[in-house]
């Protein structure tokens, strides 16, 4: 019984090649590993090895033949009786034509609203910093798999004091100071999550996470998909993001759009204390990898926080911070404060702005944005970050694709200037968004 030798594919893109030279002739005995022929691809000359043993029977394609299609039978080897004949179909038979039908995408379930705060719940004032700390502490009490690691998170109590007191309560096994080695500890965090733990990995700032972005994206975000849903990576990467104050270009960047680009990640960027706490708790409980973007300038601000035993908020749901009927301002993180400030100024001039805090950047709550647009017919996005390929760009595209009929004016973006952030106080101020710029943009879309 003979085995057909077919023209092999020798690279991911090869479709045909030249049979440059036969190194065996009819009647030769060959064994596994012997070089049978040399084949020229578009890139190189490759050796074609025997896989089975036997006598070379007929050579069907002469040496020097060009343009031999992959899968063409080039020779036959007579088997020794024990060899299973190759029954493999050739490439052309395997590859079906691309489907003419459109693939039906799964329809997203309606997003959960925030749980109602029971009447009579005491509201206390809390800084965002305390809210984040309390979220971690509560989740660590609840689940022994949760631990915190990062630079200066333990002994030093956190570079920005977000992890204050955690070492004292949970000890060095669960609150771990790392060396300054972002790539390494992001990988260790992702690996520990694959091993079944629930790591909270703090980056001193997200600027330094660029050293670790390979593990955030290639290791954490893609694993569940690449493993067919078998291997999860429930890690939280958190830390301050965006411009701080007078620290220059390398320490001042908003990475929201970078991470929000990546399927497989959940990206959260809260503004106030209640959302910071409720969403960080949700992030730690999530089975998915989460990038949790905080803002240094907001850490010290105080907000009302409901005193609940378990304050957990839904991921993927935007929040209407202020209702209005004339125009919608969409923002997230520190931009929300500026948008609210702008809305107050606009109200004094008779323009009622609705302010939406996205809270989660991936998955993005399109429905809330489009519902608001349908009501106000005008929309401005305010984002503390660069304009090109931004969250603002994405929301503008969503409004064009799904809200075009509701638009009475073009969507405008209010973003930072398109330059690395300068150090000089006046230049820095000129580069970063503020409420006044949002007011100007809103007036433009309102034709005022």
Do the Cβ atoms of 442 and 253 come closer than 8 Å?
A: no
97 binding another protein? (CB under 8 A)? no
Smaller CB separation from another protein, 252 or 360: 360
Evaluate whether 216 touches 289 at the Cβ level (below 8 Å): yes
Residue 184 binds another protein (CB under 8 A): yes
List the alpha helices (DSSP H) in 227-357.
256-260, 273-285, 334-348
HSE, side-chain direction, 13 A CA sphere, residue 225: 11
Rounded Cα–Cα distance for residues 362 and 315 (Å)? 9
Q: How far is the CB of 48 from another protein (least distance, A)?
A: 8
Asked if 266 interacts with another protein (CB under 8 A), we say yes
Q: Does 390 interact with another protein (rule: CB under 8 A)?
A: no
Give me the least distance between CB of 232 and another protein, in Å please.
6
Considering the complex, what minimum distance in angstroms separates the CB of residue 164 from another protein?
A: 23
One residue of 120, 229, 348, 447 binding another protein per CB under 8 A: 229
- Contact between 210 and another protein by CB under 8 A: the answer reads no
Q: Which of residues 13-52 bind another protein (CB under 8 A)?
A: 14, 32-33, 35, 41, 43-49, 51
Contact flags string 141-170 toward another protein, x per CB under 8 A: ------x-----------------------
Min CB(258)–another protein separation in Å: 18
DSSP collapsed to 3 states, 167-218: HHHHCCCCEEECCCCHHHHHHHHHHHHHCCCEEEEECCCCCHHHHHHHHHHH
CA 259 centroid distance within chain: 4
**What is the closest distance, in whole angstroms, from the C-beta atom of residue 421 to another protein in the complex?**
27
> For another protein, which residue of 17, 131, 158, 215 counts as binding (CB under 8 A)?
215
Query: Which residues 281-300 are close enough to bind another protein by CB under 8 A?
Result: 286-288
* Radius of gyration of the CA atoms of the chain, in A: 30
**Region from 156-164, 263-271, 342-350, 399-407 binding another protein, contact rule CB under 8 A:** 263-271
Report the residue from 241, 254, 360, 416 that binds another protein according to the rule CB under 8 A.
360
The distance between the two most distant Cα atoms of the chain, rounded to a whole number of Å, is 97
For residues 109 and 348, which CB has a smaller minimum distance to another protein in the complex? 109
Report the alpha-carbon distance of residue 240 to residue 65 in Å, rounded. Answer: 63
Told to judge if 82 belongs to the known catalytic residues of this protein, a careful annotator would answer no
> Per the residue annotation, which of 130, 139, 251, 354 is the catalytic one?
251
* Interatomic CA distance for residues 324 and 318, integer angstroms: 16
Among 21, 161, 232, 375, which residue interacts with another protein (rule: CB under 8 A)? 232
Q: Does 82 help bind another protein (rule: CB under 8 A)?
A: yes
d(CA 144, CA 392): 39
Q: Kindly state the smallest distance separating residue 265's Cβ from another protein, in Å.
A: 9
- For another protein, the closer CB: 122 or 230: 230
Residue 209: name the closest of 177, 176, 231, 242 by CA: 242
Q: Which residue lies nearer to another protein by CB, 112 or 125? A: 112
Give how far Cα 296 sits from Cα of 148, 220, 227, 425, Å.
19, 25, 36, 18
Among 81, 116, 155, 173, binds another protein (CB under 8 A): 173
CB of 183 to another protein, least distance (A): 5
228 binds another protein per the rule CB under 8 A: yes
What would the DSSP string read from start to end of 278-300?
Answer: HHHHHHHH-SS-EEEEE-GGGTT
Interaction of residue 325 with another protein, rule CB under 8 A:
no
- Binder to another protein among 219, 274, 328, 390 (CB under 8 A)? 219
Q: Which tokens go with 223?
A: 């694993």
How many other C-beta atoms are found inside a 10 Å radius of the C-beta of residue 42? Answer: 11
Q: Could you write out the DSSP letters of every residue in 351-404?
A: --EEEEE--EEES--HHHHHHHHHHHS-EEEEESS-STT-HHHHHHHHHHHHSG
Q: Candidates 92-100, 113-121, 270-278, 338-346 — which segment interacts with another protein by CB under 8 A?
A: 92-100
Instruction: For helices 391-402 and 366-376, give the axis angle rounded to 10 degrees.
Output: 60
Q: Of 261-269, 368-376, 397-405, 406-414, which part binds another protein (CB under 8 A)? A: 261-269
User: Whose structure tokens read 């910071």?
Assistant: 276
Is 251 an annotated catalytic residue?
yes
Question: Rounded to the nearest whole angstrom, what is the least distance from the CB of residue 182 to another protein in the complex?
Answer: 9
Q: Which residues are catalytic?
A: 182, 251
């Amino acid at each position: 019984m003979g085995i057909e030798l077919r023209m092999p594919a020798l690279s991911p893109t090869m479709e045909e090649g030249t049979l440059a030279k036969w190194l065996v002739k009819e009647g030769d005995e060959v064994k596994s590993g012997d070089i049978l022929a040399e084949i020229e691809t578009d890139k190189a000359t490759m050796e074609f090895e025997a896989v089975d043993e036997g006598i070379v029977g007929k050579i069907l394609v002469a040496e020097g033949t060009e343009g031999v299609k992959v899968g063409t039978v080039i020779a036959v080897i007579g088997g020794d009786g024990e060899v299973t004949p190759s029954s493999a179909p050739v490439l052309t038979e395997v590859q079906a034509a691309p489907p003419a039908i459109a693939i039906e995408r799964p329809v997203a379930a309606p997003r959960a609203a925030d749980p109602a705060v029971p009447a009579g719940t005491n509201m206390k004032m809390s800084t965002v910093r305390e809210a984040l700390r309390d979220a971690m502490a509560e989740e660590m009490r609840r689940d022994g798999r949760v631990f915190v690691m990062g630079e200066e998170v333990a002994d030093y109590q956190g570079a920005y004091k977000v992890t204050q007191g955690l070492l004292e309560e949970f000890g060095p096994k669960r609150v771990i100071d790392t060396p300054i080695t972002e790539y390494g500890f992001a990988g260790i965090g992702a690996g520990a999550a694959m091993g079944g733990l629930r790591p909270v990995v703090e980056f001193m700032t997200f600027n330094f996470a660029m050293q670790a972005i390979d593990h955030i994206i290639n290791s954490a975000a893609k694993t569940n998909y690449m493993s067919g849903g078998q291997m999860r990576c429930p890690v939280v990467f958190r830390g301050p993001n965006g411009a701080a104050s007078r620290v220059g270009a390398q320490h001042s960047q908003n990475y929201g759009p970078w991470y929000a680009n990546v399927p497989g990640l959940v990206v959260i960027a809260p503004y106030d204390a209640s959302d910071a706490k409720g969403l960080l708790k949700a992030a730690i409980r999530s089975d998915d990898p989460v990038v949790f973007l905080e803002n240094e300038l907001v850490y010290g601000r105080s907000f009302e926080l409901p005193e609940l035993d378990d304050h957990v908020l839904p991921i993927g749901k935007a929040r209407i911070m202020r209702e209005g009927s004339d125009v919608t301002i969409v923002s997230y993180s520190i931009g929300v404060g500026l948008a609210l400030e702008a809305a107050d100024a606009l109200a004094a001039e008779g323009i009622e702005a609705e302010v939406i805090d996205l809270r989660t950047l991936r998955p993005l709550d399109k429905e809330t944005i489009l519902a608001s647009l349908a009501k106000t017919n005008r929309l401005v996005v305010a984002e503390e970050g660069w304009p090109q390929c931004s969250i603002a760009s994405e929301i503008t595209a969503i409004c064009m694709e799904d809200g075009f009929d509701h638009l009475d004016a073009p969507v405008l973006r209010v973003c930072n200037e398109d330059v690395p952030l300068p150090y000089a106080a006046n230049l820095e101020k000129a580069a970063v968004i503020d409420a006044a710029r949002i007011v100007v943009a809103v007036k433009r879309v309102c034709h005022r």
